[in-house]
């Protein structure tokens, strides 16, 4: 790969941000350009990202509202939802709002990292 995949991680939980950021940093394919708790911070920082990983709930908004705004600003930026819960209606709503992938906290870390890499390289 010519360059590292630049990832912006957004979750209201500092523990989840730390976990996801650590997994990404330990994998040679990724460069974590930020881990933030709010949608406002995502909107300030997304310009350098190849992919955004976002929880369903952020400190100031929800993933769906954020994805709508990101689609308006940068239609081709892949967004990966990484959520604690997985009801079918949320997965369907995420897909309809343009999520490139949906993973849960129960996802095997290798599958998560490979999924993030796949959507970033497909973009």
Q: Which helix (H) or strand (E) holds 111?
A: helix 109-122
- Per-residue pLDDT band for 1 (boundaries 50, 70, 90) equals very low
The pLDDT score that the predictor gives to residue 106 is 94
Contact call for residues 36 and 42 (beta carbons, < 8 A): yes
CA–CA distance, 119 with 76 (Å, rounded to integer): 11
First-to-final CA distance of the chain? 15
CA–CA distance, 111 with 97 (Å, rounded to integer): 22
Q: What is the pTM of this model?
A: 0.95
CA–CA distance, 119 with 60 (Å, rounded to integer): 26
Residue pLDDT, tens place only, 62-119: 999 999 999 999 999 999 999 999 899 999 999 999 999 999 999 999 999 999 999 9
CATH 3.40.50.2300 for domain 5-122: yes
Residue pLDDT, tens place only, 51-71: 999 999 999 999 999 999 999
Contact call for residues 37 and 58 (beta carbons, < 8 A): yes
- Per-residue pLDDT band for 3 (boundaries 50, 70, 90) equals confident
The pLDDT score that the predictor gives to residue 2 is 54
């Amino acid at each position: 790969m010519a360059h590292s995949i630049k990832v912006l991680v957004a979750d209201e939980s500092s523990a989840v941000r730390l976990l996801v950021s650590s997994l990404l940093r330990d994998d040679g394919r990724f460069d974590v350009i930020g881990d933030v708790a709010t949608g406002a911070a995502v909107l300030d920082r997304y310009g350098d990202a190849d992919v955004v990983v976002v929880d369903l709930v952020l400190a100031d908004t929800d993933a769906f509202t954020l994805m709508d705004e990101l689609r308006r600003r940068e239609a081709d930026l892949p967004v990966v939802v990484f959520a604690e819960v997985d009801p079918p209606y949320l997965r369907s709503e995420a897909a309809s709002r343009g999520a490139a992938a949906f993973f849960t906290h129960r996802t095997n870390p290798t599958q998560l990292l490979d999924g993030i890499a796949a959507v970033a390289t497909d973009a």
